[in-house]
Structure 1
């Protein structure tokens, strides 16, 4: 048989060690197979070096050069397996990554919490995609897949290779202080569909992902950063609801799972034991029952949910005994490494336990192409991370998420020549939404009311409204994260109630759960839910008001008896 040049090239790309991740084998069979590069690296490692591969250290680039230098010393001295980047700037991050990689004998895993892209930590200079709650409203999952590909492109351009995303917790508790808007919603099937699209986009783009927070952090009212949540649910409920998205995405080839710090008596009745330290939950449930064979990450090991009851490094040892492959952000990695080595001598851990996990980590690095690592190119970095096509996709995602509740009758009846009041509540200046409408409404007036407006402020606006035949109200939450309750005072809330009975059109640039704290708003004939306060959402709402966009989103959560999951025209 004649082998053509093109076939030779294809074979080279598929089997050469330098091939990109998406051109290689699927992740799960790849990291569970033997590779010459993995064996050659593994054979150079001392026992201490092997344990060090299980740890990832925290890094920021917004805390000064002394902090950046301190992380460099830890990486050089301890030769850890990876680093997790937090706040800073893209160029500073790239410079730090280049430095840290140059100090590592074995290339580092470089992770980042990018649930809504780089903007989750680098908000001032990179693109933030919509929060997952907004994505949960979208009916076209192909857009979310495209978002995953763009996120992967950004990560790789910056020298990062793991995204601690997607969140596949089912948020069926409106009071959840830590998941909430970070979830795709309350329906397990919708969460699974959206999570699968995002995961596939990132993995096809060459990233390792980490589904979180196993076995499900959605129905809690305690933040595990500050305390240990307790899940009182039966094993049957957890298996059929909370674990459902994890099970389905594991079947689809998920490369990573992050285990949460939660006490779950129905799965492990050891008092005060976090799920991340439970061998039954990590090994028996996640790895054996659900069949997960990828990388198992702990949630951050410096969180109070895990160190409250297991101090001075004992949590690190127990996390490895439980079956975790990678420990994120130990309080003291040098101490932890020593304690793990001691645990092996004591028989609490076997050397085989350590060796098998190290080989899987090395195989993951090989899958990522880190056997042929190149420094991050700083030239045009900012431009490359702010691509016009990414901004266009971001707006398409926002447009697709807008959800119309009750009726479109008032929107359809809008007359752009009539006197129209456009009221911004919760802001301090004229909003992007108001600016978008200004050119089209010939006879309009903009009003702005702060969330703490006085009775006199509200009365002044209310008196003015008598002169207008159309009223459009925008409710804004200008805090960094959209919480379940708006920070409006009683006077402002009462005014919103009055506006709802005046045939005003409402546009809600806030957490959808916040409607539950606005009694009377259900009387409004037209309510646009836009999920968050960003300009992309304000532009999307303006398009609806200007009749350039038909809202297609469906509510991903139940708010109260008036507004339920799946509502949307």
Structure 2
């Protein structure tokens, strides 16, 4: 039930202004571009999403969001993907948190609450008010390329507990949350950024596994839910129709059966899972008719404008019923009201990267590091040995991630602590030449091998490198999983530790704990 203020606002708006509220767009640059100014001033755009391309630092973000808000009659939602871990848009000096699976590895759901609250306070300090998180996909397919450590667990009840705490923290900090990716793509073997995956689960399995966290979060009052560009054989009404365009998924299931009364916001309609078949602007009106309340187009200005003009014409000629439009606007404005935007709360002062916030993050990271196998007691030997470090040159594997380059934090700390280290940086998919050179070097190396992997369990080139290490140094190799923990249980791996992400904080916590002889507290939140 919308408030009287929201209903009165809807009555006062033109159809063009209403359509602006059901669009969310991205743009290039760290200052308001001419294109985003046109979208806000001329097309009444009501929602903006920022990416790393828009971000330099706190002062710049605050100036950017303030300038954008000044262009708008109705306050804008300013959204960002701040999941933590491998999807972190706000980096140093903001407090950087480990991702979902690392948080679940701590065994303490309160850590998810602290993460959400701290993120929210720092976001509001720079004018950001909507976190497109948490990911509530149940990752029960180890080969999933797009989710993995972005998920809390392969157990739907664990996912729900941590996600609920995270959202509670966001709400306390007056930031809206968004559960994604409905109805769950933890069992997907393809990346929707590139192509449309297919999930061939039965309806019974979807209800028990994938949909369970969404049901609970709807009951908890989640602000928004993001459908995914995935085809579900048990749900979607026609073959190769993704959830984003499915009336059965968004209207029949989410709105009617699950009684969700918040904002249904699409994922970017310019992802390969859509654009391999449709242009983003064509997908926009189809998605709106299917039940979406907000349509996301992140990149192409011409497609953004075309989506606006098409929607305007469809409303004008009755192809989009005015009540459908009013209902979507009602959901959007209610979310804005809930987080104080309609009261003018655009900036809420808070310290960014405070000592207290950094301590919270540091402690969560330490609690997450998980010793999986230690058959040869290598941890006790590292500080008195030579170390051969194998580390990836590039750590981003999918489009949603931010890459990090340069010397690894593990190597830096080993050098700082005067432990002899020889490093070898390999490609994200190690080449034959790299594997051969490593093999030659290790034949004459006397010490411990630290091999830091990136989803080795699903990449043939990594499997080949690990096989070589198993042959040459079977009892002297410690595998450090920088991403999915499934690497830790591969055949032939005798010693392994899961970090769940490649951040400097996680690397630092791991190697410092090893050198100082501290006990690892993390527990694997997945069974595989």
Which bracket does the TM-score occupy, shorter chain normalised? 0.7 to 0.9
Among 194, 207, 210, which residue is 2:175 paired with? 207
Residue 103 (structure 2) pairs with residue 135 (structure 1): yes
Between the aligned partners of 1:265 and 1:257, the Cα distance in structure 2 is: 21
Aligned positions of 1:47-196 closer than 5 A: 47-62=15-30, 68-87=33-52, 88-90=55-57, 91-116=59-84, 120-123=88-91, 125-196=93-164
What's the CA shift for 1:115?
A: 0.9
Asked if structure 1 preserves the Cα contact closer than 8 Å seen for 2:196 and 2:229, the reply is yes
Change (3 A) 1:430 1:259: closer
Counterpart for residue 474 of structure 2: 501
Among 499, 504, 524, which residue is 1:530 paired with? 499
Counterpart for residue 449 of structure 2: 473
Between the aligned partners of 2:347 and 2:481, the Cα distance in structure 1 is: 41
What's the CA shift for 1:242?
A: 0.9
Deviates more, 1:238-247 or 1:84-93: 84-93
- Aligned to 1:43, the other structure's residue is in SS state helix
Between the aligned partners of 1:267 and 1:491, the Cα distance in structure 2 is: 39
- Aligned to 1:316, the other structure's residue is in SS state helix
What's the CA shift for 1:95?
A: 2.1
What's the CA shift for 1:435?
A: 5.0
Residue 431 (structure 2) pairs with residue 463 (structure 1): no
Between the aligned partners of 2:441 and 2:274, the Cα distance in structure 1 is: 53
Counterpart for residue 410 of structure 2: 433
Counterpart for residue 325 of structure 1: 293
Among 542, 551, 557, which residue is 2:520 paired with? 551
Residues 510-558 of structure 1, C-alpha deviation per residue, up to 9 Å, x if partnerless? 4323346x6421xx2x422222332222232234324553222222334
Residues 386-438 of structure 1, C-alpha deviation per residue, up to 9 Å, x if partnerless? 2222222222121111111234772685596xx51222112688753355456
Asked if structure 2 preserves the Cα contact closer than 8 Å seen for 1:473 and 1:507, the reply is no
Residue 364 (structure 2) pairs with residue 387 (structure 1): no
- Aligned to 1:392, the other structure's residue is in SS state helix
Between the aligned partners of 1:490 and 1:296, the Cα distance in structure 2 is: 41
Structure 1: gaps (5+ residues): 1-31, 466-470, 559-563, 565-569
Q: TM-score, normalised by structure 2?
A: 0.86
Change (3 A) 1:432 1:117: closer
- Aligned to 1:426, the other structure's residue is in SS state strand
Asked if structure 2 preserves the Cα contact closer than 8 Å seen for 1:86 and 1:121, the reply is yes
What's the CA shift for 1:317?
A: 1.7
Between the aligned partners of 1:161 and 1:231, the Cα distance in structure 2 is: 32
Between the aligned partners of 2:277 and 2:445, the Cα distance in structure 1 is: 59
Deviates more, 1:314-323 or 1:425-434: 425-434
Aligned positions of 1:326-345 closer than 5 A: 326-329=294-297, 332-345=303-316
Between the aligned partners of 1:235 and 1:490, the Cα distance in structure 2 is: 35
What's the CA shift for 1:302?
A: 2.0
Asked if structure 2 preserves the Cα contact closer than 8 Å seen for 1:424 and 1:430, the reply is no
Counterpart for residue 371 of structure 1: 342
Residues 231-271 of structure 1, C-alpha deviation per residue, up to 9 Å, x if partnerless? 22221211111111111121222111111122223212323
- Aligned to 1:208, the other structure's residue is in SS state coil
What's the CA shift for 1:139?
A: 0.5
What's the CA shift for 1:192?
A: 1.5
Between the aligned partners of 2:305 and 2:198, the Cα distance in structure 1 is: 30
Asked if structure 2 preserves the Cα contact closer than 8 Å seen for 1:61 and 1:89, the reply is no
- Aligned to 2:48, the other structure's residue is in SS state strand
Deviates more, 1:211-220 or 1:265-274: 265-274
Among 481, 497, 511, which residue is 2:484 paired with? 511
What's the CA shift for 1:185?
A: 2.7
Counterpart for residue 398 of structure 1: 365
Among 173, 182, 185, which residue is 1:217 paired with? 185
Asked if structure 1 preserves the Cα contact closer than 8 Å seen for 2:105 and 2:368, the reply is yes
Among 469, 486, 492, which residue is 1:520 paired with? 492
Structure 2: gaps (5+ residues): 394-405
Between the aligned partners of 1:234 and 1:272, the Cα distance in structure 2 is: 16
- Aligned to 1:136, the other structure's residue is in SS state helix
Between the aligned partners of 1:528 and 1:541, the Cα distance in structure 2 is: 9
Asked if structure 2 preserves the Cα contact closer than 8 Å seen for 1:119 and 1:126, the reply is no
**Matched residue pairs, number?**
504
What's the CA shift for 1:341?
A: 3.6
Aligned positions of 1:277-356 closer than 5 A: 277-311=245-279, 313-329=281-297, 332-356=303-327
Between the aligned partners of 1:310 and 1:491, the Cα distance in structure 2 is: 39
Between the aligned partners of 1:392 and 1:432, the Cα distance in structure 2 is: 19
Change (3 A) 1:488 1:450: farther
Between the aligned partners of 1:415 and 1:361, the Cα distance in structure 2 is: 55
What's the CA shift for 1:112?
A: 0.7
Q: Which has the larger radius of gyration?
A: 1
Counterpart for residue 217 of structure 2: 249
Asked if structure 1 preserves the Cα contact closer than 8 Å seen for 2:414 and 2:420, the reply is no
Change (3 A) 1:440 1:85: closer
- Aligned to 2:24, the other structure's residue is in SS state strand
What's the CA shift for 1:313?
A: 3.2
